Amino acid sequence: MTYRLLATVLVLLLISPASAQQGLAAHFFAYQVNPGAQARFEQGYRHHLGWHRSHRDPLVWYGWTVSDGRCEGCFIDASVGEPFAAFDHRVDIEQDGADFTASVMPFVTPQAQLAYALLPELSYGTPLEKRQPSDTVQVTYFDLRPGTELRFEHALQAARRVLVSTPGAPPHTWYRLVTGGDKPRYMLMVARTNWASYDGFRADIADLLASDQNALRDFTEAVRSSSSESWKYHPDLSNLP
């Protein structure tokens, strides 16, 4: 019994708190910075992050600027890696909203508020949930034909197997939209260090499935449309408690 107890304690100690507490929720907010207001927006947003720190907010907040694509120039912030229930227990929601309204809202126009669920079984790496953001992120949105979700996810499982056996493949993280936009929609985030990283790896999902015709058929017949953009990470506009 003593040896069994010691073994159990050892296993518990080997489980990191981050992995034990990691949730699947990923909340994204998009804002268009008003013309000529970039500097004042950044100053106000830093002030608002200071509010979160002073109130010991345990939630992670990442900040990016969209470099290209349909939302070019937008600011994206996100909280990921917690259970969905964490947003029911945010630190002083009323004061948080009041500070954001005073510090940030005069300089932006809200564009979207989206809640996604992480798909860890389909992902090849989850750097945001591990608090290891890359310098840039290649983001692709996939809008599906209704009823094709299982076929699409079957194809993603095949793509993940290829990534696992591909030296130098960057992390690919998949999310499924829960609320806030047209469904079914999936989002893929590929971690990038710089433009040079595209010289080493440029394969898209169709490329990864080229040798698996069944999975490629599932993928192409499920996807109705897709779009992509690049996000530049801003450590100074982020808070990783």
pLDDT in tens, 126-139: 999 999 999 999 99
CA atoms within 13 A on the CB side of 143: 8
Looking at the domain assignment, is residue 131 inside a domain?
A: yes
Looking at the domain assignment, is residue 12 inside a domain?
A: no
CA distance 161 to 205: 12
- Here the CATH number for the domain that contains residue 119 is 3.30.70.100
Looking at the domain assignment, is residue 4 inside a domain?
A: no
pLDDT the model gives residue 13: 37
pLDDT the model gives residue 93: 87
Looking at the domain assignment, is residue 36 inside a domain?
A: yes
Residue 65 — very low, low, confident or very high, per pLDDT cuts 50/70/90? very high
The rounded mean pLDDT for the chain is: 91
- Number of independent structural domains in the chain: 1
Residue 168 — very low, low, confident or very high, per pLDDT cuts 50/70/90? very high
Looking at the domain assignment, is residue 15 inside a domain?
A: no
CA distance 233 to 208: 27
Looking at the domain assignment, is residue 7 inside a domain?
A: no
Q: Convert 44-68 to b/e letters by CB count within 10 Å (16 or more is b).
A: bbeebbebbeeeebebbbbbbbbee
Looking at the domain assignment, is residue 1 inside a domain?
A: no
pLDDT the model gives residue 79: 97
DSSP tally for the chain: helices H, then strands E: 8, 8
Are the C-beta atoms of 61 and 239 separated by less than 8 Å?
yes
Are the C-beta atoms of 75 and 31 separated by less than 8 Å?
yes
Looking at the domain assignment, is residue 54 inside a domain?
A: yes
Q: Lowest-confidence range among 20-29, 75-84, 180-189?
A: 20-29
CA atoms within 13 A on the CB side of 137: 25
pTM confidence score: 0.89
The CA-atom distances, in angstroms, between 69 and each of 65, 72, 74, 140, 163 are 11, 5, 10, 10, 26
Task: Give me the domain span that covers residue 165.
Answer: 20-237
Direct distance between the N- and C-terminal alpha carbons of the chain, in angstroms, rounded to an integer:
40
